[in-house]
Amino acid sequence: MLKVENLCKVFKNKKKHKAETVEAVRDVSFECSPGEIFGLLGPNGAGKTTTLRCISTLIKPTNGNVYIDSYNVLEDGKTIRSRIGFLTSDMKLDGFFTPDYMVDYFGALNKMRKENIQQRKEYLFNELQMNDFIHKKIDKLSTGMKQKTAIAISLIHDPEVIVFDEPTNGLDVITSKSVTDFLKKYAESGKTIVISTHMMNVAEKLCDRFGILVDGELKELGSLKEILDNNSSDSLEDVFFGYILPPAEGEVNHVQ
């Protein structure tokens, strides 16, 4: 079980002559249960990545907390890190090495035994359809191949909670489908999965529940039906754009 409780994160902007603070996330709360995929939706700059980095202990919340079962990010960071797999768009893979080598390396970093690493590699490479390129240098791989490699690295230690920031960003349709199919299957095995995305079609197909994050605030929280019913809408995209686009002249924004 993942629980985000009243999460706030404030950054200090030191680039200007006068120090300013930016409240990136304000009082965000949501839960995600085993077997569930929770989608954090929002435009660029909404606070999605900041929220996910707080969950994964990369940055500390200013206020609030994040719990995985009985552990929390403020007191149990090391334990939390051993129980999560985090994929970020900022992950840089050394182009000189191969996917096979990199997954071995990160398995060893997670203090896995060699035989367990091999078993997990076979599973992940098959599920992600990677076997044709695992011995090629990463510099020679397509964007989709690199993304699959990053996913395998994130999941080599078989974490209970998966936190993925824009897992299909920049992927072609076929690779995107293979990644979303894999995440669905992974959730069905009892894993807890949180993703961020600004792609409504991906969110609707993949996620069981959603949170719409705008300017650091959680505007909507619930299942697709709950959110649509609350807004008298038949489109998640319409609800989403109702928060981030100004109404046309003479129209009233439908979102309350």
Tokens standing for 156? 């080599």
Quick check: 253 pLDDT over 70?
Answer: no
Residue 12: the pLDDT is 83
Residue 48: the pLDDT is 93
Residue 251: the pLDDT is 52
Q: Which residue has the higher pLDDT, 124 or 168?
A: 124
Tokens standing for 224? 């697709």
Q: Dump pLDDT digits (tens) for 201-252.
A: 888 989 999 999 999 999 999 999 999 999 999 999 999 999 887 665 545 4
Tokens standing for 245? 């686009």
pTM comes to 0.89
Mean pLDDT over 128-138 rounds to 95
Strands 192-197 and 37-41: parallel
Residue 255: the pLDDT is 47
Residue 15: the pLDDT is 66
How far CA 245 is from CA of 141, 242, 248, 255, in Å, comes to 37, 6, 9, 11
Q: Which residue has the higher pLDDT, 247 or 105?
A: 105
Residue 256: the pLDDT is 43
Mean pLDDT rounded to a whole number for the chain: 90
Q: Dump pLDDT digits (tens) for 36-91.
A: 999 999 988 899 999 999 999 999 999 999 999 999 999 999 999 999 999 987 67
Residue 250: the pLDDT is 47
**Residue among 86, 6, 12 nearest 49 (CA):** 86
Domains of the chain plus CATH, in order, are: 2-244 (3.40.50.300)
